[in-house]
A and B are shown apart, each in its own frame.
Chain A
Amino acid sequence: MREHFLLRTLKMFADEALDPVTVASVWRKAQQGAQHSRGCQTPAVLSDHAGVQTRFTASSSTQTEPQEQNLQEGGLGGPDPPGLVDFLKRVEDPVTKELEKNSRSHAFDGYQANWEEGSDHVSLLHSLQHPGAEESGLHVSAVSWSCTGSVIVCAYGRTDDGDWTHQKSCVCLWNLDRRRLRPKQADLVLEVPAAVTSVCCHPERPALIAGGLYNGEVVVWDTSRTQDPVLAQTGMSADSHREPVYQVVWVPLQKKGDFGVLSSSSGGEVLLWLVDPDQGRLVLNAAYAFVRQQLPHSSSLKSRGSSRVGVSALALSPWDADTFLVGSEGGLLLRCSFSCGPPAAVAPEGRSVAPRAPARFCFRPAGGPVHSLHCSPFHRYRLPPPQTAAVLTRYDPTRLRRNLFISAGTDGEVRLGSLLQADPLLAVRVSDSYVFQAQWSPSRPLVFAAATGQGEVQIFDLARKSLRPAATIRDGAADRTATCLAFNGADPRLLAAGRSDGTVGVWLLSSDLTEQRAEESLRLEQIANQVAE
């Protein structure tokens, strides 16, 4: 560095031809005294290299001499340095032993390191309210997430009284992905002439929402239409329900991509509707009626009161398109089939489609009305080993999907059952009061959540040894019941819970409740196989 500097200064003193211009200074010469230079010393300049950073580099051209090609295979050429052979000889045997051990080892089977930071707590993201609903004293009767997971649909109605009020209510939509989410003001409000009991978002088209009303109507809204969001409705025709609709669900039909709306009511019917957008009507496609006398005899029932069985809960099986589960107001749990079934023993009542009796199998009844049913979305059927496959080509009842489902009712318990057997596998005590809704988590096969009458949402994890809840979501006063809940299918960390004070809370779940661990499906199978056939 110093040499470089000296060279540059020397260059500055190169000879140059210039016209000399001299102006002699007169007074200075006189003032100048004698000057002697004694000596000079400067301390050494300390320099240290701190760091260098290039912001950008530009390469104009480089040139290298061609390298000699390696003639040896896989090696770097050159003679073996001394001691290399000895080292290798020494090391070869132990390394070989380790390699062989490794190829046979099962030490790390199923171990999956998780380096992502997870959250430990369940936290409230948003608390959504609709002032209009709150003024009318409406409860949140149902929540549903759209298939994309960004819009939450909340239906308002009353869950406690049973009279035919002509109270107007509404369905509110909030888009949670919007930046300026206004929790007190819904992004879209759909006015409804009666209290809404249930909503369900279309599984593929985010704009369609099906809703069931207290006056027995079923409505389909299309939120992409600006003029009139009502796409189709049943109206008060001879086909529609006469009693309040309890639940509506979108059902995949024969043709892929087509969906129908299945609605259940306390009048004892389950109706399947097709959407006819041109006429704005829902057309009845199939009807199923539940009559006490036609239920499978594997249940001990007292045939008292009316012969109709009011349907209070409905669940579809994700693996078998023909099966659906029904829970009744009397506590019955039935497995039903869409396609086969004798005609129902009811008066025609002017319906355009003759109803059938679909019940195939009766599970052990619950202690009170069944409010909610949900089938586990995780596949539970394992293929038999290849050598016995030939034997199982004939119809074998064990090949039916051994799907698990949970049911919740007023007895304060959530029961885990298998589709193949009558008795429940497990009964989990959730609360001392009613359980309004129970749903499986879409991401962890062993987790389910239940909304209780005491205002809490309890989340249970079956992987834990004890049956106490893994997490409890409590929001505000204990006298507000939690009436409904829904997991977000697209983002499994979000859980929405609606309460009787009209608020909907959107909660972010902790990572141990949402991330699937190894062998959870196996554990689920173990639970289902507990009572061997």
Chain B
Amino acid sequence: MSEVEEIMKRILSHKGVEGVIIANTEGIILRSTLEDQSTVHHVALVQPLLMKAKKIVQDMDPEDELTYVRLRTEKNEEIIAADKDYFMISIQTPSL
């Protein structure tokens, strides 16, 4: 099993995690545990938000860097970790 799969499995094993999506900054999906159509939909919606968030951080303080974007809804929370080339979305249901 490649390293990528190992890491993804480890993340999935955490409590409440429902899915993991890895894509590159242009929006091309690399790995995903959800089914294709919803993954495409998800990435297409999240990617502009991520770009905007990056821009906000850069504009506010050029020396600062975006680490995560967390989107919390009534049903679950998504942690989006990004860097220059790739980003990863982890979807977790909080344990309330």
Contact = CB atoms under 8 A, between A and B. Distances in A.
B94 to A, nearest CB: 6
B85 A83 contact: yes
B14 interface: yes
Contact of A91 (B24, B88, B92): B88
Interface residues of A, number: 29
Contacts of A80: 2, 4, 30
Contacts of A102: 16, 77, 79, 92, 94
A90 B30 contact: no
A52 interface: no
A89 interface: yes
Interface stretch (B5-13, B44-52, B56-64): B5-13
A89 B7 contact: yes
Contacts of B10: 92, 96
A74 B14 contact: no
The interface size bin for chain B is: 35 or more
Interface in B50-96: 67-68, 70, 72, 74, 77, 79, 81, 83, 85-86, 88, 90, 92, 94-96
Interface string B1-34: 0111101101100111100001010000111110
A84 B22 contact: yes
B50 to A, nearest CB: 14
B92 A99 contact: yes
B96 A76 contact: no
A88 B22 contact: yes
Given A88-B4, A88-B88, A96-B10, A103 B81 contact: no
Nearest to B90: A95
A81 B8 CA distance: 16
Contacts of B33: 74
Contacts of A113: 74
A99 B20 CA distance: 12
A99 B7 contact: no
A91 B81 contact: yes
A85 B14 contact: no
Tell me the dominant secondary structure on chain A's binding face. helix
B23 to A, nearest CB: 10
Contact of B7 (A88, A103, A105, A112): A88
A109 B79 contact: no
A75 interface: yes
B28 to A, nearest CB: 9
Interface string A83-124: 111011111101110111011110011001100000000000
Contact of B96 (A88, A99, A109): A109
A103 B24 contact: no
A85 B94 contact: no
Nearest to B33: A74
B74 to A, nearest CB: 7
A-B interface, 7 closest residue pairs, ranked by CB to CB distance from nearest: A103-B15, A91-B81, A87-B86, A99-B14, A88-B7, A74-B33, A75-B31
28 contacts: A74-B8, A74-B32, A76-B30, A76-B31, A76-B32, A81-B24, A84-B86, A85-B4, A88-B3, A88-B4, A88-B8, A88-B88, A91-B81, A95-B11, A95-B79, A95-B81, A95-B88, A96-B11, A98-B68, A99-B79, A100-B15, A102-B92, A102-B94, A103-B95, A104-B95, A109-B96, A112-B74, A113-B74
Given A91-B88, A99-B11, 14 more contacts: A76-B32, A80-B30, A84-B22, A92-B10, A94-B68, A99-B15, A99-B17, A100-B14, A102-B16, A102-B79, A103-B95, A105-B94, A108-B94, A108-B96
